[in-house]
Amino acid sequence: MKIALSPLEKLRAAGKFLDVTFNKRPLTVSIEVTKRCNARCDFCDYWKISDRDEMTDFTDVVRRFDPLVVVFTGGEPMLRRDLVPLVRQIKELPGFRYITVLTHGGFLTEAKIEELVAAGVNQINISMNYPDARQDRERGIPGLFERLEQTIPKMVAAGYSCFTFASMLMVDNMNDAEPLIRLAHRWGINICFSGYNDLKNGNQSHMVSREKMSEFKVVCRRIIQLKRELGNVMTSDYFFETLPEFYEKRQIDGCKAGKIMIHVSPKGMVQPCAELAPVAHYSEFLPGAYEGPNCGACFDACRSEPQAPITMRRLGELTGLL
């Protein structure tokens, strides 16, 4: 059974945050355990990749950077049959770290959820852009939404409070934002939002156009209201206040990729983020010395949330995440 972090664990997390910040190590290390994916999203070409040259042990990566948060991602990380042992290896390392898995959810059976949590996963982020069977069409996975609907609420009822929707807020689904938030609330889980970008394959069709901008800003204001009403939206107010500007300018400066967060490829190469080219092998990368490209071409959650002003409200929201 998954329960929230204990007061002692929260204290350890706070201590780790201060340690990482003071010593200029990344807060988050995203480990891309595979580029393979069985989804067919039109904004990503990873599903065309069949390369299986993938590291089988990432413990040295985590030892070297010793972050607060480790994210197992892909591709679809659950295509790795050894994902549970990979998680366990990281969890058994000395020190505190918060472990998350980002998945489209198609492989989330009850048994697999129990295995992942037992191995040490604190949070399972499910990519979810639609509150119904349109999710199947977007991902190219028939029956995906129905399987999630049958599994996730049942596991939550059994005490597994580890799920979060990870949703991209874009022109296609902006009017589904409130239904998504309410669906997450009915299922008893949180939801986080991210912006859309075209960096993976150049598809700009999901960007919010100028013609739709007034409507989009209303949606963003409504989401902030729903945060207060339902309490399950964990994304900062800053994100919703700034995302329209990103879609208008296609540029928001201030990204700290390669400094407070890094991305490690299946072959062990460090990328400042998943969308940027590798800069070094993990054994040679020094975050404290990295000056970075300071790219502003996306407004994903991984860069927007670290930029969000730390207000009393935001401190409360971040405490609720742990």
CATH of the structural domain 7-321, one choice from 3.20.20.70, 3.40.50.720, 3.90.1150.10, 2.102.10.10: 3.20.20.70
Question: Quick one: average pLDDT of 61-84?
Answer: 97
User: What residue ranges do the domains of the chain occupy?
Assistant: 7-321
Q: How does residue 310 score in pLDDT terms, banded at 50, 70 and 90? A: confident
Per-residue pLDDT tens digits for 174-183 = 999 999 999 9
Distance from CA of residue 274 to its chain's centroid?
11
CB of 171 within 8 A of CB of 197? no
DSSP state of 233: B
Predicted local confidence at residue 141, as pLDDT = 97
The side-by-side arrangement of strands in the sheet containing 280-281 is 190-195, 163-169, 123-127, 98-103, 69-73, 28-32, 261-264, 269-271, 280-281
Q: What is the mean pLDDT of the chain?
A: 94
Give the pTM.
0.94
Confidence (pLDDT) at 10: 86
The closest alpha carbon to 184, from 168, 205, 166, 158, belongs to: 166
